[in-house]
Amino acid sequence: MPPKPHRVLLDRVSGYADEAAAYMRRRRIQRKPFARLYYAGGRSGEFPADSATGAELFVAAAAIIDLTGKGRTK
């Protein structure tokens, strides 16, 4: 006896949802903070937060955010 049409659709949707949830779990586990720096001419570089250059870029970015945040009024 073939499955009912609504069951096929429900199984397919739930399969997609399971795949999406697994993708998000993998992404959270593998994702680590990094700084991406863009140069003139389109070249870019990525620096992990635990590298010396990455740490300096994170400090500089935090300082810029602090400076721009202080000038704002709510």
Q: 67 and 37, same structural domain? A: yes
Q: 73 and 52, same structural domain? A: yes
Is 25:34 a contact under the CB 8 Å cutoff?
Answer: no
pTM of the model: 0.51
Residues 14, 38: Cα–Cα separation, whole Å: 40
6-11: long-range contacts, CB 8 A cutoff, minimum separation 24: none
Q: 72 and 38, same structural domain? A: yes
- pLDDT tens across the length of the chain (74 residues): 666 666 777 777 888 888 888 887 777 656 788 888 899 999 999 898 889 999 999 999 999 989 887 755 55
Q: 21 and 51, same structural domain? A: no
- Show the domain range for 20: 1-31
Q: How many domains does one find in the chain? A: 2
Residues 32, 49: Cα–Cα separation, whole Å: 8
Q: Which residue has 């202080």 as its token pair?
A: 70
Q: 25 and 40, same structural domain? A: no
Q: 37 and 3, same structural domain? A: no
- pLDDT of 57 reads 92
